[in-house]
Structure 1
Amino acid sequence: MTVTIYDVAREAGVSMATVSRVVNNNPNVKPQTRKKVFEAIERLGYRPNAVARGLASKKTTTVGVVIPDISNSIFAEVARGIEDIANMYHYNIILCNADKKKEKEIRVVNTLLEKQVDGLLFMGGTVTAEHIQAFKTASVPVVLCATTDDQEQFPSVDIDHERAAFDAVQALLDMGHQEIAMICGNLNDPSNGLARYQGYKGAMENAGLSVKEQYVRAGNYRYESGMEVMEHFIGLSPRPTAVFAATDEMAIGAIHKIQDHGLKVPEDIAVMSVDNTRMASMVRPQLAAVAQPMYDIGAVSMRLLTKLMKNESVENMKVILPHELVMRNSVSAK
């Protein structure tokens, strides 16, 4: 039999209203009465009905999180930052994987809103007009995490992806490389795709170098596509002396393809990426990368959302966190 608030009240010899006040941490309860209620709760194994409490307070203390690819370690680190801050402010999270598919992302957003979450974090992925429409119909705050919308209509936390790519390519240029190729992402993706390509292009043009069409190929952010694109680069003449990849996975795929051809990294071809996941230090040679503060992106996003849910004042609705160059053995001077 399910233990009810009525059972606890009868066991403790108090009213149901008193039990409710104790469960909801209302200070207007005598310490002796509070102790008596908690003892009854423990004896009976009572668990408050979160749904009923949510209906009464119109708050569920639950946050919905849309994640583009739960198998990708970089998003796992963001989720960890979200979870830690959520716990600190006594929120639970519902984590939903959307497989980087627009239709599924919007369906998941609508499902979470139907679940009466108190706030929504949309992590990664391209924010389209359809996403904007879904967010606008929400009666709760929405924060974009590790992405932004073009019109900056919604609060967001991210890095400057264009500047991060620029700094990575500039580091290669400073080492004497000029024949620099790029394994980019989807150019319809404003952050990982387009912005990082624009950073690469900007650094090359700033150095007075043209961007060769055959030196730019798009991958799907995964290891296998890095190998495929690197196969194309190795067949070029002249062959690039350095490759900048938009993700660690594609960069590691490139390293292994270079090695499969009997070439050496970085002596024959240097490789650099953006992300700096754990894999970057696990591969050999270790991968040079622009480090994104992924945990901090998640933590700051969740903190921003808590402020919005509590109607606290927010000074900056667009937060840009700093990135950092981490130089390792996959790059060297030409």
Structure 2
Amino acid sequence: MAASIKDVAREAGVSIATVSRVINKVDVVNEETKKKVNDAIKKLGYSPNIVAQSLKTQRSRSIGILVPDISSQVYPEIVRGAEDVANMYDYSIILCNSDFDIDKEKKYIKVMKEKMVDGLLYMSSSLDPEILQYIQDLNMKTVLVETTEDEKILPSVTIDNRQAAKEAVQLLIDRGHKKIAYIGIKKDRKNAWARRYYGYADALNEANLPLEEDLTYYGDLKAQTGYKGINSILEKTEVDAVFCGSDEIAMGVINGLRDKGISVPEQVSVMGFNDIYEASIFYPKITTVAQPLYDMGSVSMRILVKILRNEPSEQDHLVLPFQIIERDSVK
């Protein structure tokens, strides 16, 4: 028969309440008593009933992480940073993938609430007001990662996507490019990715270059969007550079240009975004905007843990630095 908390208390010569305090890391037990209890736990092979603990304390020592597409090269690195910090504070994580589906997002948020996760790191394809209200109605302690909502109600960790895109396109302009295409997320979506379009537009406007609808193509962040996008654009007009909403899009663009016998960067320059690992080994190596993906995950988890521990946070809305990494896809 498995050992019970009573057995541990008897072995350590303390009360059940003291054993409970040690297990739950309540800092009112002296070190000598903690050692007795932990030695008894080890000797008896005692394992706390996590479900019963959660029902009693309304805390599960777990944190939900909701991502829109785990197959993307971006999110595993963010999740890794978050998980490393969660482990430091003895939290486990529950990872859910929404597949860019708002109904699926709501379902998973509800499931995590039912599982009594202590908090949520939320990465979304769209900051839909309905979803944000749903999170608030459920009273979920939540930190937004990679994006932020306009009202700044929920804490967030991101980069300045608009400024990053503007500087990336400005580099293309400085290199003499004038017919610069945009392939990425629609500008009317409420997320970080859509802000990259506005950075693209800002750079063109400041350079007195026209915003041409024929030079834009909207889709998701995958390589197939880049491939289809560049083919669609080239049917209507010529380009000398392409600003892409992700590195995967940039790879698709390069493949599409290659299939048409157009060389990169000699004839067309291609700029990516995110600096995933593959961007550094693809041919040609992709010039891109680097997001500190691991740091975004680790910092957001630290903010969430502080919220859960009722500790003051120096800043609720962190904007981390970005960097343009110059490689071989821009001449």
TM-score (norm 2): 0.93
Contact 1:125–1:147 (Cα < 8 Å) also in 2: no
Contact 1:110–1:134 (Cα < 8 Å) also in 2: no
Counterpart code for 2:228: E
Q: Which residue is 1:297 aligned to?
A: 296
Q: Does 1:129 align with 2:132?
A: no
Q: Which residue is 1:67 aligned to?
A: 67
Identity of aligned residues (%): 41
Unaligned runs of 5+ in 1: none
Q: Which residue is 2:209 aligned to?
A: 209
Counterpart code for 2:329: S
- Distance across 1 between alignment mates of 2:81 and 2:51: 26
- Distance across 2 between alignment mates of 1:306 and 1:46: 27
- Distance across 2 between alignment mates of 1:309 and 1:248: 35
User: CA offsets per residue over residues 217-271 of structure 1, 9 Å max, x none?
Assistant: 112111111111111233344x101011101111100001111122210001110
Deviation, structure 1 residue 186 = 3.0
Q: Which residue is 2:263 aligned to?
A: 264
Matched position secondary structure for 1:130:
helix
- Distance across 1 between alignment mates of 2:31 and 2:320: 46
Deviation, structure 1 residue 33 = 5.2
Counterpart code for 2:281: M
Counterpart code for 2:306: K
- Distance across 2 between alignment mates of 1:44 and 1:214: 71
Q: Which residue is 1:309 aligned to?
A: 308
Deviation, structure 1 residue 276 = 0.8
Contact 2:230–2:253 (Cα < 8 Å) also in 1: yes
Indicate how the Cα distance of structure 1 residues 35 and 170 shifts in structure 2: closer, same or farther if over 3 A, else same.
closer
Contact 1:82–1:299 (Cα < 8 Å) also in 2: yes
Deviates more, 1:135-144 or 1:211-220: 135-144
Matched position secondary structure for 1:275:
coil
Indicate how the Cα distance of structure 1 residues 17 and 194 shifts in structure 2: closer, same or farther if over 3 A, else same.
closer
Q: Does 1:166 align with 2:163?
A: no
Deviation, structure 1 residue 109 = 1.0
- Distance across 2 between alignment mates of 1:304 and 1:31: 29
Indicate how the Cα distance of structure 1 residues 35 and 180 shifts in structure 2: closer, same or farther if over 3 A, else same.
closer
TM-score (norm 1): 0.92
Counterpart code for 1:276: D
- Distance across 1 between alignment mates of 2:311 and 2:47: 31
Matched position secondary structure for 1:231:
helix
Deviation, structure 1 residue 129 = 1.6
- Distance across 2 between alignment mates of 1:26 and 1:93: 22
User: CA offsets per residue over residues 167-226 of structure 1, 9 Å max, x none?
Assistant: 110000000000111112133423344311111111111101101111001121111111
- Distance across 2 between alignment mates of 1:321 and 1:177: 29
- Distance across 1 between alignment mates of 2:190 and 2:169: 19
Q: Which residue is 2:177 aligned to?
A: 177
Q: Which residue is 2:143 aligned to?
A: 143
Contact 1:126–1:147 (Cα < 8 Å) also in 2: no
Counterpart code for 2:230: M
Contact 1:192–1:246 (Cα < 8 Å) also in 2: no
Deviation, structure 1 residue 36 = 4.3
CA-based RMSD of the aligned residues comes to 1.9
Counterpart code for 2:261: G
Counterpart code for 1:50: I
Contact 1:161–1:191 (Cα < 8 Å) also in 2: no
Deviates more, 1:215-224 or 1:4-13: 4-13
Q: Does 1:247 align with 2:227?
A: no
User: CA offsets per residue over residues 17-54 of structure 1, 9 Å max, x none?
Assistant: 34334433456656665444434322332111222223
Indicate how the Cα distance of structure 1 residues 8 and 248 shifts in structure 2: closer, same or farther if over 3 A, else same.
same
Deviates more, 1:145-154 or 1:279-288: 145-154
Matched position secondary structure for 2:324:
strand
